[in-house]
């Protein structure tokens, strides 16, 4: 059983969440809090596996409560937020900065049809977050690129880089992209599993925080330097060596956007001129695609276990033998810089 603490000032919202989790045998609600101050106390008292946190509450809000919980008694936190207004999305990104594992759209009012629509994704986010290994520092300090010594292998002539991540990805992306030269001279195609309503705000946040040109990818766009983020509800892929395409979701797709779709397209259209990087996340998305890229002569990298919030996606790739290198974020920065310099 996953022990859940619900933090929400609305009685109606708490009842909605109670109904949802009463139908799911994987969760047990250990406590409920109506304020940020109460949430901090209950976290220390119950030590839940995961916290579902609202942003807007009287007194101490969800962002401040998240920051304080991560300081005094770190546990995985999923922030529930409305997504219709830019201000709400910006607050959700601030919650990520404060240490939240992920953000999710929450049901509005007592509309149970809306609840059923988001229930599978909310459940998946909470399950993934409950497996995270959280640390007291919510965001890693941006470090200078580390010497890789024996870990370094020949990179080759790289023209495009694919990066994919899921739970725990935003802080790692922030660390990596902030440490790269600005602007980074290679195109970076980025798949981040995140609720559709937050994609645009996430792109804006990532660009502002890292100083790297960041935009939502568009179908048929010419491949140019900068970070190209997969839009919500579409895959991100190379159409050829010069163009981006956004394939639609298929009925059989577990994830959209998918890391496998991205890496498969790199293997077909860029091969030895490409690099694939698979970061923290739950599940196995990206593993088979990274293997295809490696077999096509591309350079493949996975994040190491010690620095991963959830070592699921990288671990799956490692078990397939899909990775040329297993590195921490600072070492990944060094490899990306080496690729951009054109030196072997």
Catalytically active residues are: 166, 193, 285
Q: What is the C-alpha separation between 102 and 95, in angstroms, rounded?
A: 9
Q: How many CA atoms within 13 Å lie on the side-chain side of 320?
A: 23
Which runs of consecutive H residues, i.e. helices, occur in the chain?
11-22, 36-46, 62-72, 86-98, 112-130, 169-179, 199-210, 259-269, 287-295, 313-319, 329-341
Is the CA virtual torsion 235, 106, 281, 198 positive or negative? positive
Q: How far is CA 187 from CA 14, 117, 245, 295, in A?
A: 44, 35, 14, 22
Per the listing, tokens 């609600």 go with 29
- Residue 28's DSSP bridge partners are 3
Is omega for the bond preceding 183 within 30 degrees of 0, making it cis?
Answer: yes
Count of positions (residues) in the chain: 344
């Amino acid at each position: 059983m996953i022990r859940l603490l619900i933090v929400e000032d609305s009685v109606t919202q708490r009842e909605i969440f109670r109904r949802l989790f009463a139908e799911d045998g994987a969760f047990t609600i250990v406590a409920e809090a109506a304020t940020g101050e109460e949430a901090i106390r209950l976290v220390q008292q119950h030590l839940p596996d995961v916290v579902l946190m609202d942003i807007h509450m009287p007194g101490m809000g969800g962002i401040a409560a998240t920051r304080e919980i991560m300081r005094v008694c770190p546990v995985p936190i999923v922030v529930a937020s409305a997504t219709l207004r830019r201000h709400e999305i910006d607050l959700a990104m601030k919650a990520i900065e404060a240490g939240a594992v992920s953000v999710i759209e929450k049901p509005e009012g007592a509309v149970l049809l809306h609840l059923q629509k988001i229930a599978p994704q909310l459940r998946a986010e909470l399950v993934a977050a409950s497996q995270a290994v959280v640390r007291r520092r919510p965001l890693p300090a941006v470090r200078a690129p580390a010497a890789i010594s024996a870990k370094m292998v020949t990179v080759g002539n790289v023209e495009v880089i694919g990066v994919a991540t899921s739970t725990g990805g935003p802080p790692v992306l922030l660390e990596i992209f902030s440490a790269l030269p600005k602007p980074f001279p290679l195109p970076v195609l980025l798949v981040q599993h995140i609720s559709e309503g937050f994609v645009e705000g996430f792109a804006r946040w990532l660009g502002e925080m890292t100083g790297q040109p960041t935009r939502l990818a568009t179908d048929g766009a010419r491949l140019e330097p900068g970070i190209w983020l997969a839009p919500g509800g579409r895959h991100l892929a190379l159409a050829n060596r010069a163009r981006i395409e956004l394939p639609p979701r298929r009925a059989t797709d577990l994830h959209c956007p998918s890391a496998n779709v991205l890496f498969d397209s790199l293997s077909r259209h860029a091969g030895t001129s490409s690099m694939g990087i698979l970061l923290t996340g739950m599940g196995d998305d990206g593993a088979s695609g990274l293997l295809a890229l490696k077999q096509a002569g591309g350079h493949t990298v996975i994040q190491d276990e010690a620095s991963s919030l959830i070592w699921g996606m990288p671990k799956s790739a490692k078990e397939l033998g899909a990775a040329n290198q297993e590195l921490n974020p600072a070492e990944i920065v060094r490899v990306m810089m080496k690729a951009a310099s054109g030196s072997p």
